[in-house]
Copies of this chain bind each other. A is one copy, B any other.
Amino acid sequence: MSQFKRIKAGIVGGTGYTGVELLRLLAQHPGVELAAITSRKEAGTPVASMFPSLRGRVALAFSESHRAELTGCDVVFFATPNGVAMGEAGALLDAGVKVVDLSADFRLKDVDEWERWYKVRHAARERIAEAVYGLCELNREAIRGARLVANPGCYPTAVQLGFLPLVESRAVDLDHLIADAKSGLSGAGRKTETHLLFAEASDNFAAYGIAGHRHWPEIRQGLAQAAGREVGLVFAPHLAPMIRGIHATLYARVTREADFQALFEKRYAQEPFVDVMPAGSLPDTRSVRAANVCRIAVHRPGETARGGDTLLVLAVIDNLVKGAAGQAVQNMNIMFGLPETLGLEQVPVVP
C-alpha cells in the first residue's frame, strides 16, 4: 500500500484486552507502522511472549513509558485504565502527537459529573473542551480536525447508535428510554476479579451496575447532544457468558408515528460500519465477531395491542472492535485523512 505514508503509532498500556486488540488491528493495517508499546509492569517482555497469538506478527517488546519514544510517534493510543491518559496526554499533544484515548478520561464534557462518577479529581480539566467524543457516526467532522479523541465506551457505542435516529427525529418519548444491554466478559477487561473467573461466569447470567454505571452519563450526554435536550434513560447492563459481543435491546415509546425502518436506513445509508438489517431481523453478536461493524434491527412488536406503542431496537457490536480498538483505528483513519475503512475490513469470524 505504497500510496500511504505509514503513520507511526504508539500504544500506552498494551497488556489489556483493548491493547491486544489494537495490536491485532494495527499489525494488519497497511497504513501504520507500530513504533512503540509501553507497559511499566511488563517492560522488556516481548509482546509476543505475553500474547503468543502475535508470534511472528509483532516484533516489539513492551517498553518503559519513555516520553521520547512516544513523542516520535504520529499518534498514540491510550489503552490504559481510567486516570492515566489525563496525566500523560498533555505532553504528547504539546509535542505535536495526536492522541486517541480509549479510556474514559476525556469522554464527559461536564467535569463535575466526571469526578462524581470516577471518584478522582480530573488532572487535565483544561484539555476537556478540546477533546472530541469519537463516535464517528455522530462527530465525524469534528474528529477530522481533532488532536485529542475520546474513544467511546463499548455500551455507549451500541446504545447510542441504536437510539440516534430516534432521538434525532424526536419521534419517541425522550424521558423514558430504556437500554437493556448484555455484554461478554472481555468488556470487563483483563482484571483478576473473582466474578470474572470462568468457574463463576460460565453457565451463568446476571445484571450488574443497576444502581449506577459509568456509561450511563456518557450515553445521556451523547443522546442529549443529538436531541438538543436532556434525555431520561434507564440503563441495565448484564454479563453474558461469552467472550466478546454486546447486544443492546432498546425500548422507546413512540410519540410521533413514522416509517422507522426507513428512518434508520436513511440515517446510516452512508455509514461503512453501521448495517441496518431488513425489517424483522434478529442480529446475533457473532455476526460482528472480531469485526468493526454495528448491526441494527428495528421492531414494532405489537402494533395494535396494548403496549403497542413501544419500539424495540436491537443493536450488536463486538465490544473490543467497534466498541473499542476498531473504533479507535476508525478515528485514527479519519484524523489522518486515510480512507475510513482502511485496515478495518476483517470479515466477522463465524462460527
Whether A230 and B306, one on each chain, are in contact in the complex, defined by CB atoms closer than 8 angstroms, is yes
A interface bracket (residues with beta carbon within 8 Å of B): 35 or more
Whether A202 and B243, one on each chain, are in contact in the complex, defined by CB atoms closer than 8 angstroms, is yes
Whether A207 and B306, one on each chain, are in contact in the complex, defined by CB atoms closer than 8 angstroms, is no
Residues on B with beta carbons closer than 8 Å to the beta carbon of A236: 180, 249, 301, 312
Distance in angstroms from A295 CB to nearest chain B CB is 7
Whether B199 and A243, one on each chain, are in contact in the complex, defined by CB atoms closer than 8 angstroms, is yes
CB 8 Å contact bits of A103-130 with B (1 = contact, 0 = none): 0000000000000000000000000000
Distance in angstroms from A67 CB to nearest chain B CB is 29
Residues on B with beta carbons closer than 8 Å to the beta carbon of A308: 232
A169 part of interface (Cβ distance < 8 Å): no
Residues on B with beta carbons closer than 8 Å to the beta carbon of A286: 53, 203-204
A251 part of interface (Cβ distance < 8 Å): yes
Whether B55 and A233, one on each chain, are in contact in the complex, defined by CB atoms closer than 8 angstroms, is no
Whether B176 and A301, one on each chain, are in contact in the complex, defined by CB atoms closer than 8 angstroms, is no
CB 8 Å contact bits of A261-294 with B (1 = contact, 0 = none): 0000000000000010100111111111111000
Q: How many copies does the complex hold?
A: 4
From A279, which residue of chain B is reached at the shortest CB distance? B211
Interface residues of A in 1-50 (CB under 8 A from B): 17, 20, 24, 27-28
Whether A234 and B349, one on each chain, are in contact in the complex, defined by CB atoms closer than 8 angstroms, is no
What CA separation (Å) do A306 and B229 show in the bound complex?
12
What CA separation (Å) do A240 and B249 show in the bound complex?
13
What CA separation (Å) do A51 and B200 show in the bound complex?
11
Whether A307 and B232, one on each chain, are in contact in the complex, defined by CB atoms closer than 8 angstroms, is yes
Whether A284 and B204, one on each chain, are in contact in the complex, defined by CB atoms closer than 8 angstroms, is yes
- The A interface is mostly helix, strand or loop, or mixed, namely loop
Whether A54 and B205, one on each chain, are in contact in the complex, defined by CB atoms closer than 8 angstroms, is no
Which of A92-100, A134-142, A186-194 touches B?
A186-194
Residues on B with beta carbons closer than 8 Å to the beta carbon of A302: 232, 234
| The residue from B53, B238, B291 contacting A347, defined by CB atoms under 8 A apart | B53
Residues on B with beta carbons closer than 8 Å to the beta carbon of A280: 211
Whether A351 and B240, one on each chain, are in contact in the complex, defined by CB atoms closer than 8 angstroms, is no
Distance in angstroms from A264 CB to nearest chain B CB is 15
What CA separation (Å) do A298 and B307 show in the bound complex?
22
Interface residues of A in 178-232 (CB under 8 A from B): 178, 180, 182, 184-186, 188, 190, 192-194, 196-208, 210-212, 230-232
Whether A204 and B282, one on each chain, are in contact in the complex, defined by CB atoms closer than 8 angstroms, is no
Q: List 29 A-B contacts (CB under 8 A).
A: A20-B350, A24-B350, A53-B289, A55-B287, A56-B275, A57-B347, A175-B307, A176-B253, A177-B307, A178-B178, A178-B251, A182-B182, A182-B205, A184-B205, A190-B351, A192-B192, A196-B197, A197-B198, A198-B198, A202-B202, A203-B203, A204-B284, A206-B285, A206-B316, A207-B282, A210-B299, A231-B306, A234-B310, A290-B290
The list of the 5 closest CB pairs from A to B, nearest first, reads A232-B306, A232-B307, A206-B284, A53-B348, A192-B192
